[in-house]
Each structure stands twice: as structure tokens, then as C-alpha cells.
Structure 1
Amino acid sequence: MLSPMKTTPVALGVLLICAAVAPAAEPTPSQSVDTSFLKKYAETRRFMLGRPQSPKVAPDGKTVLFLRAEADKPTLKLFEFDVATGKSKEVLSPAALLKGDTENLTPEEKARRERMRLSAGGFADFHFDNTGQRVLLPLSGKLFVFDRTNGKVTELKTGEGGAVVDAKWSPDGHKVAYVRGFDVYVYDLATEKETPVTTGGTAIKTHGLAEFVAQEEMGRFTGYWWAPDGKHIAYEEADHTGVEVWYVADPFKPDQKPAEQFYPRPGKKNVSVRLGIVPVEGGETVWVEWDRKEYEYLARVEWQKYGPLTLMLQSRKQNTVDLFEADVRTGAAQRLLSLAARESDREWVNLDRIALYWSKDGTALLLRDQVTTIKNRGDNLARKIDIRSSFIKIDRIAHFDPDTGAGLFQASSHPHRMHAFLMKHGHRAQPLRLDEVVQLTRDNGVHTIAGTDKLPVVVSTTARSMPVTRVYNTDGKLVGALASVALEPDVTPNVEFIPDPSEPEFNDHGHRQSNPPKEDECFAAIVRPKNFDPKKKYPVIVDVYGGPRHLHVQQAMRNWLVPQWLADQGFIVVAIDNRGTPGRGSNWEAAVYQKFGTVPLEDQVKGLHRLCAKYPELDKDRVGIVGWSFGGYMAANGVLRAPDVFKAAVAGAPVTDWEDYDTHYTERYMGLLPESKKAYDDASLIPLAKDLKRPLLLVHGTADDNVYYRHTLKLANALFRAGRDFEALPLPGVTHMYTSDPVVMERLWAKTAGFFKTHLGEPK
């Protein structure tokens, strides 16, 4: 175990690395910790290996294809679930396609998987053609077509030069489009010929690729779109001219050049994006015209069966998001609807709360806090659809049939959980009746939905069970479950949720019957050790994230496996979802605007005090805090701003200076520079370094291209120069997804437990 770092006249970078690798002279608490559970947890990728992933329903509704790995091997294979028999079988493996070759991921594909938070190898995705008989499979920089009728696999003869990414079928299934290098290509299956659709793409001015912030922050991983008739492709041109280039070097490989990345920071130059429309058979690009100074972000593009080419454009301040219809012939763009109050200075629009579907009658179905229709496009008229919005909060529309109006959605009135619903057939411009909604899930937990209205696929987890994927029919009746071979945890988390969500959320008539949360009440959870002794007082560890767009306190078993292991080392672990987290309305979320450093921490402290007052087994004088990413920021912020509350912290991959994080995330919550400079200064941890009084362990992957290692180095440098004692653990070659390395996962949590045992002590 590392000892607290003393100020010595050596180079800081060398000091940090040496501190991480120097052997301990004596056995340490972390070495005495039983890590057998952690080892299994890490090797099984959080007990998720062997569980179905990415289920997709075939167009005929007779089968569901999905990806799945073995329980102990992180390589995804292709499986098929037969609706008639309810049985699953393997249909294709990466090994069969590679024929003994080793899978080779290009740097572009590695970066793409990092953005998608995908750590497994093998098939990352697959796509049905319009008939469902053929499946497109990218693998190891190559493209394969699997014919389900005869089992034949064909490798597409793509050209040389540049990685092949983001492959898609044409609407008629005769062609495949993809990006190779920095341009869009189309492959004709009949002639086996590849043709460039765009030309002139470069690393600085890319064609058909989603830029960094689109992938990392907007959830948009594509940069081109087929027209419904297959005759045109719309593509993004991302001009990185003037955008800062940051570098990620591998300290273990000083002979290799650092990886380069365009990384736009607050107040700096953003990527300049525009949208072009080009005929697939060749011709000039027509550029869509919009005010790109007013709308810097191309948030979404939709080109659906019955709708026009629709753009969702967002201002840099992100308090304005508007829908535009583009004329394919001229490029002229007409505003359809504004989704935010233009005069708002404090609120932003959450892109993940918006979905757009065009129906057969030309009506657009839009999700934003509730379901809304835009009748007669162009008249800028919006109308709500009543699907018990007074009782449930719609989280996501997963599917919509434009011909019938049927669909699937997720909804809840309680952030602890989420339920899955089926919308039956009906004219969506009219209020939706209760008898048109089927609630597919009843058990308290987190239920997410995919598939189609004819064959909904629901992934369900509860506080006592790991995810199970089930298939239903159009009447909401269970058809069967996709087969899993995952290892199940040998421990059930001893977790208590506050407030108590044990009652079912809805009765049989769709009415909410559990009490709504109090307006200022933070949701929390307590994890006690399995050998809990109510006569003792336990040191407390706050397991924190606390940032926007993420909930930790949910009725999902996998959230509580590591906290349970940590509690079993002699602690009580608590988690609190503060203001700024989703699921509680816009006022709750907007409370953190320009107050990252104060409001989330205030809520954590308030929630902790309430828990300590209610549960005497919590020792309020021995509290530690641990988190990763935004949680790492919260952990370091806790010991720096509230040392009277938090007596030790482990901060993983912390953002220490918000001027060094990306534009789209940071400016949404912190405002624009230079006018919001004070808010950035107030939220920064660097000026607080001189005030450190408590033990602090900083952990960071040196290959992190999301929260750069620079963040930890800046704080470590400020601490070192201020003469403060701290510990630092660099993880060479590790990215922001430290969980993808089983050894790192196991050792890091063991070290964390040892650190807190040293500084918080044992139960008394």
C-alpha cells in the first residue's frame, strides 16, 4: 500500500509513477483483503458476460437475434431466439469468420468502442436487411454478410486505406454504406463494387463521421443517413480547423508517438459541422443552409419513411433546440418547432429526452417530458397526448410504428425504478386511452425495452436479481427468455432504499399508488455488511457519482455488488442522488447550473446527516467518500470543501478543472466563457489544494481520452507545491473504462478498501 506522499525535491511525474510501483516493505491492509469476489466480478465483467446483449427482432417477427459471450470469455457471438419454440441457439462466431486470425481492432474502432462503453471483443453490432434474411456484421475492420437462409457468409471486398466503420444497409437491402478513411462509400452487393459517395475527406475535415462530442455527449454515433428511397445520402462534414489537438501518450512506450485527438474545451473553438445531401449514383453535394453561428451543434438527423429530412439543431449555450425540415433539392431549411424557451438563461434541453417519429399521416410524434404531436408539419403547432402523464414520467420511446401508431416506451414516477409499456394501435393525434396501454412489467426494478410492438423485448433487473431478457407478444403475454449462461453472483446485496419503494408503483388500472417523493428529498441507499452487528458503530463510505444524466440509487442488483463487497470489509456504504441527477424534473436538475462545486456536495452532506441521525450504526465521525469520473470530482471536492464531514477520499479520474473538459458537457451546466469565468473558478479544485487536511488517494488512467490524466496531474502538482500530503496511483495504459481490465478492477477496489481501513478504522 502507498504511504501518504511527502514533499520531496523530485519531478512530480516521476514521483507519481514511482509511488504507484514501489514495493511495500510490510504487508498492508489491502494485501490482507479477500479479493476472491472481486476477481470473479472483474473477470466476468461485473457478472454481465454470458447475458444477452443488443436484441433485435427480425422483420417477420419469428426470431430475435442477439449477441452473447461466454461467462468467462469477453468475445461476443451471434445467437438466435425462436419465438415458436422459445429456444436459443448460436448461429455464428467471430472465430468462424476470422478462420484462426486474431481479431485486430483499428485505433478508430477502439475509440468508437470507448465512446460506446463497450469492452468486449467479437461482434460489436449487427444489422438486418429489409427482409431479415441477411445480417451485416462488422468484425476486425472487415464487413461480412450472413445469409440466414443457407448459412453462407460473404466478406465484402472493400477497398484499401482507412478503417471501415459504421456500416448500414440501404433501405432496399441491395447496397451497404460505410465510412472508410474519412469518406462515405457504397458497396453494391450485385456487382461487388465499391463506389465513393463523398470525396476529399481528411482527418481535419471528415465526411460521414460523428465528431467527438456527438459520440461522447450527444449519444450520436453516426454521421450519415440513407434517404428512405435509397437514392440519396445525407452526411455530416465535420471541420476541425482551429480545434485544439490533445495527445495521449503511453509512458510504458516512449518510442511510440502519442495518439492525437481533437478536443474542444469551454471557451475554445468548436468543430464546425454542416450537412450535405448527395445522390448515391453520383452528383454534386447540396448543402443544407442554417445559421451555424446560432446553432453550433447538429444534435440529431432523422430521415424516416414518412417524414422529411429533419434536423435537430442546438445552440452552443444549449438552451435552444429547434427542429428544421430540409429541402433535398435546394438545401433550404424551414423551422418546424422550437423545443426550448429562447429567453431562458438557466435551463438547458436534455437531448436524451427527445425522440422524433413521423407517422403515415404526416404527424410527428415527439418526446420531451411528455408525448407531444406536431400536427400538419410546418404550422408549428404542438399538442400533448395523455398517456397518464400526471401519474407516470415518460423516459424513452423505444419504438414507434408509423403505419399503426403502436409503440413501446419506458416510464416511471419514481427514480428508483423504470417500467416497460406497450402502446397499442391508435391514431396518435387523439388522446391515448388507458385500454391502449399495456404495462409489461410489475416487479419493482429497472426494466428497459427494445424490439417492436409485435414482439417487445424487455431487460429486467431488480435489487435482488441480475438482468434477464424476456420476449413478449403483442398482448403483453410472456413468450420466453433469451438464454443466458452468465455466472450469478454468490452474494445478494443487503441494500435498503430510502424512501422505501417496496410498494408496487402502479395498480392494475395504471394509477400510481406509491407516495410521490418529497420535493427536497434526496433518494438514498444503505448497504450493510452481511455480518452486520446492530450494537456496533461502523465507519461509513459514501459511494458517489452525483453528476447529471446518471442515477446510482436504483433497484438494480449490479449497482450494489461492489458496495456490498466493500461493506463486508467492515463498513456501511451509502449512496445519495443529489440535485442535478435525472428523474426528478427540470427544477431539480437545473439547481446545479453553475454550481457544480457546491449544490451536489451540499445535498450529499445533508443526505448523509439525515441518514446518520436515523441510523445509529452509522459513525458520522468516520466517513469516507469514493467515486469515479464526476464521482471522482465529488470525492476530491468532499475532502477539500468539507473536511469536517469527510475524513478520507479515493478520487478516480476526477475532473479537477472544468475549463479542461469538453464543450458540450461542460458549457451545458457551467455556461459559456468568458462571461461565466467565476462559476468555473468556483467549481475548480485547483485553488482548494492548499486546504487539504484529510487523506486523499488520486487514481487515473494515463490513456484516458475523456477525462485526461492532465486533471489529476494539475491537482497533484498544486497539492505538492502547497506541501500537502496525498497519494497518487497512475494506471499506465488504462482508459476511462478502467473496468475493462480485470486485474486493474480487482486491485483497485482492494486498494480502496485498504486505504479506508487505514484511515477510518474498524467497526467499534
Structure 2
Amino acid sequence: WARDGPRRSGPSLPASPTEVRENYRKAQSLRSLYSNKALNLNLQANWYDSGKRLWYRRDTAPERTEFVSVNCDSGERKPLFDHKRFAEALAKVTGRPAEANQLPITGVRLAETGKSLNFSSSGRSYSCNLDTYEIAATEAPPINRPPANRGGSGDSARSPDRKWTARIVDRNLVLQAEGGEPVPLTKDGYERAYYARPAWSPDSRFLVFLKLTAGDRLPVYLVESSPSSGGRAKLITRSYDLPGDKVDTYEMLVCDPATAEVRATQAEVIDYWQMPSFRWNRAGDRFTYEKLDRGYGRWRILEIDPSTGDARTLVDDRPTTFFDITSKYSYYSSRTDEIIWRSEKTGWAHLYLTDPATLKTQAITSGKWVVRSVLHVDEERRKIVFAASGVHPEEDPYFLHYFEVGWDGKGLRELTPSRGNHQTQFSPTREYFVDSHSAVDSAPVHELRRTADGSLVAVLERADLTALEATGWRPPEVFVAKGRDGETDIWGLIFRPSHFDPEKSYPIIEDIYAGPQDSFVPKSFAPYFSMQSLAELGFIVVKMDGMGTRNRSKAFHDVCWKNLGDHGFPDRILWIRAMAEKYPSADLSRIGVFGTSAGGQSSTAALLFHPDFYRVAVSACGCHDNRMDKVWWNEQWMGYPVGPHYEAQSNITHAGKLKGKLLLIVGELDQNVPPESTYRLVDALIKAGKDFDFLMIPGAGHTSGGSYGDRRRWDYFVRHLLNAETPDWNSGEGAGGDRAGPFAPSLKRRCLG
């Protein structure tokens, strides 16, 4: 895409109405055009024969499949069964034709022996004997549902020795011996302070429970203007804690059932996050719980001796900024009582091992890379299988790879050596696994590997993109530029229209989501991204992860601390400028941005704080003031107590600075971000005398607006960045000439978030 020569002096001429309609037609049809064209993008491994074999369904051609069996030891592949005989037998029993390479069966379940197959076809359940190919109708398999909680959310607990039952009655705790009368252990419980979650020690000697004192529990309100039942609008009221609100607290108590004596413990009152869970040690004489301090500045694992009430700290993680509860990991060994936990205390997320007996802590992993998740902890072999990113400096630092390491930090081995972003499926015995790896610009490869040494058994499938590429499909471009510090790489993607002409000038649109709870640029292959449809209208669409998002170093993440108003814009702007420097067809004078939720907050902030760079924004369901959104998410990143920095970074506070074109979208029934966050921004913009556009969607929840919202967003950018007229949707004609096009169904669809 690079082109030598001088930068263009101005934008290209507006597209003609015919060109615009054709671009809309292409944009609307891309998803279906690319659908089912690529073969073997995914491979679902199904293990049998005690994990020694697996089977999967593979694509042989578009709309054509076969079932394959694999010997995990040798890698030998063969048909799972005789497809022709199966098709003939199926046609005979159903009375409907069946093709061997297009068997109309779903819900396939192979017996552990590999001798019979259960499946569904045409709404009925069948079983096939794979020795005789006799197919018989069967009962539909039962739906596995978790057992009903008849105790009422942990309100009842029977002792392991079956001699005692503790239950909550009228907000108080009652103890009853087997065959005896109920004995009240507490009497002061009422609506705002009551008892909960009784839990027994393994030896039945102690009963632990909580006293909950309710916080403010203040309500938020929603109005459903157009209920399906008709009639009056409906008021919906629910409890919703906001930053700074007084929240529920928990006091920990212990009872000796032999004496019915209740005593307090030395545990601090738990003033934040969630009702704690108790984990007893092997001896059953102590239990642990986890405590996150309000403000996210400290996370601990504490141990209580119920016989004395004494408390001691086993793990204490006290970052100088915030503890990220969204990526917290802890594992408690049932064999040794040791604790494996994740911390960023060295500046990178790694695993640690703590021995409660000695309080000694040692690092399991280390280095300038990130442990992302733990898949499996093997207590017998004392091994851990985990996912990490950033291990290979030459790769995208977000690519996931899988490793095994000993609890002592020794024997670190990579299980997935191929370049790309990896996903794994382990056999029941964990002796083998299927490794699927890809990148946005590299088709998936599915490999069978041995867990013992990561060695390759066989390449099972390589995705075939022949039919997809025949449509003119092209992958997005991975682009990297330096961030605000001049050293850190910022990674992102570039999407161009299929009719891209490097001699022309194109507006730039950024798809933004800067929430600190993750990273958001796609890393694995997909034949279609919605950003491609937007690009098809005549734009260069980009997406990148700026500083303040997760999955890099702690310093990279810490940029968000008490600083959500940053949104990573210093990095994003440099990235876009670097992209335009390399590709002069990208027009820096016409830049738009859109996003939903935290992305809605960011896209509006782009026009308020960087109006000389961003010119047009579409913002859906934005959290425009962090004091008006859920307590946990906002205090996690903005801190507690609520200080003046909250107001200073509010879009509402700075509404009078608006420049450019802004479209605000909100669902009236948003139960994630209260819609008044958008309404108050509207109010502030009106009071500031600003021109803007506003769309409230009746019946919609936390949403970008569904397909109707997509169309309105497309139209907004076409009008204000391309300076072109959009199709006349009110004429009843869609972009392709059909009635309203594919956007019409969304007018009746409800998106309840």
C-alpha cells in the first residue's frame, strides 16, 4: 500500500450518488459474501478411547464435510466411519435423502469405545451402531442443568458429620442438632443488618458465618417508553451502587456448635467487593479468605484460627497504583495448603508460590512478559500449564503462547512454539492437546502435540482460503508505531475498502475502546470484521490498543490510574500520524472516531479534548462521567475516595468545548451504564448552546444500536467525512434497491444489553 511521492493537498471530490449506493450495497453484503468461504477455520476436538484418540468434523469443500478419527500416538488419520453406508442408513430410517459428504446431523456424540454414535437429524434423536450401521430412534439426551439451590443462596448448611444444620431464619442464624430443637445463635438481624453464608469446618467443630450490614443501596431508574403490552410507560427501579456510595460490609463470626457460643474474629471488616468465600486447610483447623481493600490499593489472603479468632496475613499485594481485580488469580493446593497466585509487583504479571507454614514466597515465573491465565495445576507432578504473552520479542506482544513450569519455577517449557496467537484443547488425561494458531493476516493451523515435551504429532488441518480470496477478500494490515514515550510499540490494524486506490485520498475512522480491563485489537484470524464493512463505504478504518489498556507491562497499564480521561489519545494520535506518513492516501484532515460504552466516553472525549485532530464522532451508551457508572469498574481505575479528578475528566464538565460533529446514541433500558449519563451530557450540550445529534432507542439496552444504529453511524460518517449524500431511506428503497435493505429488521429488534 505504500506509495512514494508528495502528500495530497486536499480531499478527493465527493462520491457520486451511484458510487455511494454501490458502496453501501457492498458494505451490507460483505458478511454474507465472506461467510462459509474459508475451510477449516475451526477444529473442535472430541476425545475418546481414554484420550488416546480424537475425532473432529472437517470441511472438504464449501458446505461439504467429513468426520475424521485420529490416533493420538501415531497421528494417523482416517474416516471416523463409512460415510456412504451411514448416509444410506440415515436415508432409510428418516425417509429423506442424505449425501455422504453433507450429512444432515448435529449434536454428534461418539461413545467412549468408538462403536456407536448418537446424533440429531430433522429434529429427532438417533443412535447408530458403527459395526452394523443400524440406526434407531432414541430419546433426546437430557439437558444438563446445575441442581437447584433449595437452600436459598447459601442460607442453609449441614455439618459434614450430619449432626448439625445451620440455617438463616428471619435474617438470623439458627442452629439445630439432629433430632433436636432449633437454637437461635443471633437475634439482632433485621433488613439492614443480617446474617448470611454459614459454612462448616471439615471436622464439624466450627461454624463460620457473616454479618452483612447494608450500604446505601440507592436506586437508579429506567423508563420503558414503548412496552410490548402497550399502555402506560413502565418505570423500572433497581439498586445500583455508584462510585463513592456506602457499600455493603461484612463481619466474620465463629460459632462452636457444642456450646452455641458465638465470638468475633480479628478479621477486619470487609468493606468492599464481594461476600467472601472460606477455604479450609487440610487439617481443618484454619481457613483462609481473600480481601480487597476499597480503592484497589491492596489485596490480601488472610488466615483465621477459629479456635482463637486470631488472624494472620499469608499474601499481601500492595501496588503503588491499583490491584487489577479483573485479572486476579489464586489457587489453593488441596495436598499441601500452598497457594499459587498472580501479581504484578515486579512490573510484569507473574505467578508466585506461598507456603502458609513458613510464609515463604518464591517466584514461579519471571521476565519482561505477562502471565495471562492458568489452564491447569497438576498437584501430583507439581506442574502448571499457563498462557503468556510477550515472551517472544520478535512477535506481536499480545500473541498467546502456552507453557508448562514446575511449582519451584524450574523446567519452563513452551508447548506452542509456532508463530501466532494460540488456543489449546487438552485431552482428558492431558497427555495430548490440539494447538490452533493464527493471526489476523495468517490462516489457522491446527496441530496435535504431546504435552510432555510439546513435540508435534501431526498437523491436522490448515485452513483453506482459496474460495474466500476469490471474492476479493484481503486481511487487515498489522501496523506498529511508537507511543508517547518514543520507545513503546503500539499495535493496531488498518482496514481499507476493497476498491482502494492508493492515488485517492480517504478519511480515517478509528474504532475505539480504551477500557483498562483488557486489550481489544483482534489477534486471531477471522474472515470478517465489522470494521471492514465501514471501510467499504470509502474509509480507512483503524483500531489500536493505546497505553492504559491491559496485557502489557504494569507501567503500560498504570497510565489509566486516576486518568481515564487520557483514553490513550497521545499514543493513538501518534499512531495515526505514523500511518498517514507511511500511507499518504490517509487524509489527516478528515478523521472520525466511534465507540460504545467506555468507547462512547472516549469517542466523545476525542472532540472535547482533541478537536484539532478528530472532527466527527459517534458515541453509543457512553460512560460520560465516571461518577455515574457502576462502582466497581470506575473505582478500580479512578480510585477511592471520589476526588476532584473525577469531575475534571468528565465529558459533561467539558461539554462547552465541543467542536466538530457529534452523534450520541443511547438505549433507554441500558442496565450497564445508566442512560442518564448520556442524558446529562445532552443537557450540558444544550445549555452550552452546542449543535449535535441525538438518538435514543426505545426498548434497547447497552448497545451500539443494532443494525439500525450501524446504519445511522455509517450515514453520519458518509455525510460529514465524505461530504456525500446517503441513500434516501425514507423513500422505502435500500442501498441495493430492495425495501430498506438489511437494516430494516433492527427497527423491531430489542437489544436489552
| Bin of the TM-score, shorter chain as denominator length | 0.5 to 0.7
- Pick one of 327, 334, 344 that aligns with 2:312: 334
Question: 1:550·1:582 contact (CA, 8 Å) conserved in 2?
Answer: yes
Give 1:43 shift: 12
User: In the alignment, which residue of structure 1 is the partner of 2:66?
Assistant: none
Question: 1:393·1:412 contact (CA, 8 Å) conserved in 2?
Answer: yes
User: In the alignment, which residue of structure 2 is the partner of 1:292?
Assistant: 269
Give 1:356 shift: 2.4
- Pick one of 234, 246, 258 that aligns with 2:220: 246
Give 1:757 shift: 0.8
5 Å-filtered alignment, 1:549-698, equals 549-558=517-526, 561-598=529-566, 600-674=568-642, 676-677=643-644, 679-698=645-664
- Pick one of 396, 404, 418 that aligns with 2:399: 418
Distance 2:158 2:535 in 1: 55
SS of the aligned residue for 2:569 comes to: helix
SS of the aligned residue for 1:583 comes to: coil
User: In the alignment, which residue of structure 1 is the partner of 2:24?
Assistant: 33
User: In the alignment, which residue of structure 2 is the partner of 1:701?
Assistant: 667
Distance 1:224 1:57 in 2: 40
**Please, which moves more after superposition, 560-569 or 226-235?**
226-235
- Pick one of 704, 712, 716 that aligns with 2:678: 712
Q: Is 1:178 equivalent to 2:178 in the alignment?
A: no
User: In the alignment, which residue of structure 1 is the partner of 2:739?
Assistant: none
Distance 2:225 2:329 in 1: 42
Distance 1:761 1:320 in 2: 50
Distance 2:211 2:43 in 1: 35
5 Å-filtered alignment, 1:183-582, equals 183-184=154-155, 198-200=168-170, 239-253=213-227, 255=232, 257-273=234-250, 290-292=267-269, 295-298=271-274, 301=277, 303=279, 309-327=287-305, 332-341=310-319, 344=320, 346-358=321-333, 360-369=335-344, 370-386=349-365, 389-390=366-367, 392-413=369-390, 416-423=397-404, 426=406, 428=407, 430-434=408-412, 437-440=413-416, 442-447=418-423, 453-454=430-431, 456=433, 460-464=437-441, 474-475=451-452, 476=454, 492=473, 494-499=475-480, 519-558=487-526, 561-582=529-550
Give 1:618 shift: 0.7
- Pick one of 703, 721, 729 that aligns with 2:687: 721
**Please, which moves more after superposition, 472-481 or 723-732?**
472-481
User: In the alignment, which residue of structure 2 is the partner of 1:3?
Assistant: none
- In structure 2, the CA distance between the partners of 1:722 and 1:31, relative to structure 1 (3 Å rule), is farther
User: In the alignment, which residue of structure 2 is the partner of 1:121?
Assistant: none
Deviations 1:216-275 (A, max 9, x none): xxxxxxx99998899999887765442212123312126465333321111111122456
TM-score for both structures, normalised by structure 2: 0.67
Distance 1:27 1:302 in 2: 67
Q: Is 1:752 equivalent to 2:718 in the alignment?
A: no
Question: 2:374·2:385 contact (CA, 8 Å) conserved in 1?
Answer: yes
- In structure 2, the CA distance between the partners of 1:456 and 1:365, relative to structure 1 (3 Å rule), is farther
Give 1:417 shift: 3.3
Give 1:301 shift: 4.0
Give 1:474 shift: 3.3
- In structure 2, the CA distance between the partners of 1:496 and 1:207, relative to structure 1 (3 Å rule), is farther
Question: 1:244·1:269 contact (CA, 8 Å) conserved in 2?
Answer: no
- In structure 2, the CA distance between the partners of 1:565 and 1:397, relative to structure 1 (3 Å rule), is same
Distance 1:177 1:446 in 2: 37
Distance 1:155 1:349 in 2: 34
Question: 1:313·1:322 contact (CA, 8 Å) conserved in 2?
Answer: yes
Distance 1:479 1:150 in 2: 38
Give 1:632 shift: 0.9
- In structure 2, the CA distance between the partners of 1:348 and 1:406, relative to structure 1 (3 Å rule), is closer
Distance 2:152 2:29 in 1: 43
- In structure 2, the CA distance between the partners of 1:177 and 1:340, relative to structure 1 (3 Å rule), is farther
Deviations 1:721-747 (A, max 9, x none): 222111112222222255xxxxx5322
Give 1:450 shift: 7.0
Give 1:552's aligned amino acid. Answer: F
Distance 2:641 2:239 in 1: 19
Question: 2:253·2:263 contact (CA, 8 Å) conserved in 1?
Answer: yes
Give 1:445 shift: 2.1
User: In the alignment, which residue of structure 2 is the partner of 1:103?
Assistant: none
Identify unmatched segments of 5+ residues in structure 2: 1-16, 57-62, 64-105, 126-137, 160-164, 172-189, 725-753
Give 1:633 shift: 0.7
Question: 1:545·1:631 contact (CA, 8 Å) conserved in 2?
Answer: yes
Give 1:336 shift: 0.5
User: In the alignment, which residue of structure 1 is the partner of 2:90?
Assistant: none
Distance 1:228 1:731 in 2: 54
Question: 1:463·1:493 contact (CA, 8 Å) conserved in 2?
Answer: no
Identify unmatched segments of 5+ residues in structure 1: 1-25, 72-76, 97-148, 157-166, 168-175, 189-194, 209-222, 502-516, 739-743
Distance 2:191 2:121 in 1: 35
Distance 2:479 2:449 in 1: 32
Distance 2:226 2:235 in 1: 12
Give 1:687's aligned amino acid. Answer: T
Distance 1:87 1:274 in 2: 56
User: In the alignment, which residue of structure 2 is the partner of 1:761?
Assistant: 722
- In structure 2, the CA distance between the partners of 1:39 and 1:240, relative to structure 1 (3 Å rule), is farther
SS of the aligned residue for 1:310 comes to: strand
How many residue pairs are counted as aligned between the two chains?
A: 603
Distance 2:313 2:324 in 1: 17
User: In the alignment, which residue of structure 2 is the partner of 1:130?
Assistant: none
Give 1:647 shift: 1.0
Deviations 1:186-226 (A, max 9, x none): 899xxxxxx99544469977988xxxxxxxxxxxxxx9999
Distance 2:305 2:654 in 1: 53
Give 1:379 shift: 3.3
Question: 2:167·2:198 contact (CA, 8 Å) conserved in 1?
Answer: no
TM-score for both structures, normalised by structure 1: 0.66
- In structure 2, the CA distance between the partners of 1:589 and 1:245, relative to structure 1 (3 Å rule), is same
Distance 2:442 2:194 in 1: 45
